[in-house]
Amino acid sequence: MSGTLRLAASIAAMDRDELRGLLAARPVAALRSVDNPLALALELLRPDSITAVLRGLDRTSLAVLRGEAEGDDDELRRLGLRGLEDGRAVLLPEVGETLRKLSEAPGSADAPRQSGVPGPVDADPGAVGPGILRDPASADIAHWYGAALASTVRAAALLRALSHRPVRLSRKGTVTVVALRELALVAHDTPEAIGRLAGLLRIAGLAVPIQRPGGQTLLCPSTEADSWLELTQPHRWAVLAEALAERLPAPLARAIELADGDLHLAVDSVLGAEFPLLPHSLRAEATEWAGAAEQLGLAVDGRLTPAALELFAGTPGAAASAAERDFPPPAAGVYLQPDLSLIVPGPLAPADERALLEIVETEQLGVASTMRLSQMSLSRALRAGHEVGAIRELLERLSLTGIPQPLDFLLGDLERRRPGPDPEEALAAAWAGRRAGPADPPGGTSSAEPARGGSTAPAASAGSDEPDELAAAVERIHSAARASRGSGELTHRLELAIRDRSPVRVTAVGPDERTFLLLPISLAGGRLRATDEAAGVERTLPVSAITAVEAA
């Protein structure tokens, strides 16, 4: 019976809040089928479940679990890594065996070290204190907004590109290499940086995968994309930054705290030392998160920025205010040159930005951007329904240097010629017309992901009476534990013997006390039905008469 009964006893002693925390920390695949402490204990003692929770433990908790240090046994019990026996927290053999195997596995930071290989970094949590929330004044982060604004501008360009032509996703759900190269040209950044921005748009709910007939999946703007593009640059950034901050891996958050807010030190040294069983995939995830944080201005040269600290403190409104304070104010206009290039010295109002981008080609995007008017870009705007007079009026209003003579001649020539449709531009317009989100997929497609987050689970409909699955499981398990109190442990032992088809010694009282070697068959209606193989008969005993159940 190993540690199952001990863990079941621990679960039975938990209140609803503790059960909710346990199920949140230790997700169970078949949660609907779990309706009592014993069933949950069996699920939590599966090797894959134990491995998953052990990999997220820091080295102090691992030492406590091994019995090498004193610590909070209650916390380990709330994670389902300790059981209860006679009211004491005790080791679960399955947990001890899994921990031993993981620690001895090649590549584990807990495995025996060769000479010359450095040991863990000794980071003292007491000395660091709140760490991640420390004032970063010593870091040179006064210009953090540069990366933040540049990435936000490029994210908007990427979203507009997806609205004109959605891109294919690979079988792994990532943007294909070819598509990344194309998008990098549009948004004027490296394919690696564009890949991160595409990921940010997805976790912020601004871009979603759409499944097309035949199995092809496209990345398209969501129904929230237009609303986001109507925001000012600081508030656009705040949406992306909040989404990224919510995805901060818990081990990395702890490592940042121990590294006193130094993101580079946290990723390169502290993470592996503090979480020695953390798999390479999660270390890679932490590295990728750190790269996205630098790109989005949450960190500068590894130091967290003031806006990032506000996000981690749980005050996203203050982070948005920091962006409003530090971002450059909206530009008064643009500088229109005789060679038809435009210098945009800072962010524009959303309406002006949208109108300008409909008539220009972009050459560089960032805190300051460079664009260019051409006969092709203006012809495309006319075919999209813009009038030459309206274009001239827009440029006269935005240009700080007036309308140069070459542009005046070009606009006049276009007004006289009224160009006809171009096949390639008509195709681009058709793609733009097929713009859709999850509620309106292109060409009869279906959404492969909800608008928010990366989960593929359908969101509960508003006003639904169906109880939350986790809350329902908490109530089932808690009620079952309360109902079985008194004879609970004996009942658990019998239930486990029935599941395992293992014999047990059952002591029962009647006129006198007797002990039987039984193979339990069923437990219902307050009675145990079991086979007595020694006597060759089937016995039925009232549970109330049973005083002891022991493994045979």
Residue-wise pLDDT for 125-176, tens only, equals 333 333 444 444 444 566 898 999 999 999 999 999 999 999 999 988 889 9
Sign of the dihedral defined by the CA atoms of residues 324, 327, 331, 332, in that order: positive
User: What are the pLDDT digits (tens) for 318-345?
Assistant: 999 999 999 999 999 999 999 999 999 9
- Could you give the residue range(s) of every CATH 2.30.30.100 domain in the chain? 486-551
Which of 74, 102, 106 has the alpha carbon at shortest distance from 90?
Answer: 74
> Which pLDDT belongs to residue 493?
77
Of residues 545 and 181, the one with the higher pLDDT is: 181
Distances (CA, A) of 200 to 43, 183, 289, 291, 470: 34, 15, 10, 12, 28
Predicted local confidence at residue 467, as pLDDT:
52
Measure the CA–CA gap between 356 and 343, rounded to whole angstroms: 12
List the structure tokens of 273.
């030392």
Residue whose tokens read 């201005």: 297
% the chain with pLDDT above 90: 53
Mode of pairing for the β-strands spanning 446-447 and 513-524: unpaired
pLDDT at 120: 42
Which residues, including other chains, have CB under 8 Å from residue 329's CB and lie 6 or more apart? 346
DSSP codes joined into one string, 487-515: THHHHHHHHHHHHHT--EEEEEESSSEEE
**pLDDT (mean) for 363-386:** 92
pLDDT tens for each residue of 395-416: 999 999 999 999 999 998 888 8
Indicate the pTM of the whole model. 0.73
- How far, in Å, CA of 258 to CA of 27, rounded? 27
- Tell me the CATH number of domain 486-551, given options 2.60.40.10, 1.10.3430.10, 2.30.30.100, 3.30.230.10: 2.30.30.100
The SS3 of residue 45 is coil
Share of the chain above pLDDT 70, in %: 83
Report the candidate in 126, 279, 172, 212 with the shortest Cα–Cα distance to residue 446. Answer: 212
pLDDT bracket for residue 5 (50, 70, 90):
confident
At 364 the pLDDT is 93
Task: Quote the CA–CA distance of 269 and 109 in Å, as a whole number.
Answer: 12
Question: What sections of 81-164 are H helices per DSSP?
Answer: 93-104, 125-128, 145-164
From 247, 245, 246, 267, select the one nearest 256 (Cα to Cα): 267
Residue 236 burial (CB count, 10 A): 24
Average confidence (pLDDT) over 463-488: 71
Q: How far, in Å, are 82, 533, 548 from residue 504 at the CA level?
A: 24, 12, 10
Cβ distance 404 to 431 under 8 Å? no
Phi, psi of 150 (to 5 degrees): -60, -45
| Contacts for 337 with CB less than 8 Å, ≥ 6 apart | 343, 401, 404
Q: What is the model's pLDDT at position 267?
A: 95
Any bridge partners for residue 63, and if so which? none
Give the pLDDT confidence of 64-81 residue by residue, as tens digits: 998 888 877 889 999 999
Round to whole Å and give the CA distance between 453 and 451: 7
CA angle 242, 246, 250 (to 5 degrees): 145
